[in-house]
Structures are given as structure tokens and as C-alpha cells.
Amino acid sequence: MSDKEFSHKEIENYILETNAGIIPREMYISRKVDGIDPFHGFSEAEVRKMKRKFRKLKRLAFSKYTRSFCKYYSAESIWTQIDKLLRQKEKI
């Protein structure tokens, strides 16, 4: 991860994303920027499991929208909606 300081909300999001079984957004983005595979170091089964959990959370976060509509969202808005969903589940 980068050397920047994290806000309280970013730390909570990191923990919630880790507890949900997906790779945290900050880790994913920093690895992509560095040119490293975000799933480097994980087995194929673990990668498959994390990707499936992410897709499930994405579907749940956008369940109020039509599926054709949600595929046009940016990656940042998808992560934001997933964070909102995880916060609602944990009631933070």
C-alpha cells in the first residue's frame, strides 16, 4: 500500500471489505498502479472465490437498478456502492 495517511472511514472500509472476503479497494488500486497483478500471491481457488464474492456484492449493491443500467457505472461508483452496502450490513 502507499505511504499516504488513511482517514477513519477508509480504514473502516478496508476492514469491512476484508471481512467480506474481497480484496480491499486501496490494495487493488495500488497494485494496479504499480503494475502488479492485484491477486498476486493468492491461489487460483482464492482468486475465484474473491471475484465471485465481489460480483455478488455488486449485484446486491445495485439490486434496485436494472442490470443493464449498472454495467455503465464507473469502477469508483461500484466500489462506493459496495462500501455503502457493507456499512448497512454492519450498521456503522
> For 56-80, how does the pLDDT look when each residue is reduced to its tens digit (9 = 90+)?
988 888 877 655 555 667 778 888 8
Q: CB neighbours of 54 closer than 8 A, spacing ≥ 6?
A: 22, 23, 82
Q: pTM score, two decimals?
A: 0.74
> Would you state the cell numbers that stand for residue 70, as one nine-digit string?
449498472
**What is the C-alpha to C-alpha distance for residues 41 and 90, in angstroms, rounded to an integer?**
29
Q: Per-residue pLDDT tens for 37-62?
A: 999 999 999 999 999 999 898 888 88
Q: Are 32 and 16 in contact (CB under 8 A)?
A: no
Task: Please report the DSSP string for 41-72 in residue order.
Answer: TS-HHHHHHHHHHHHHHHHHHTTTS-HHHHTT
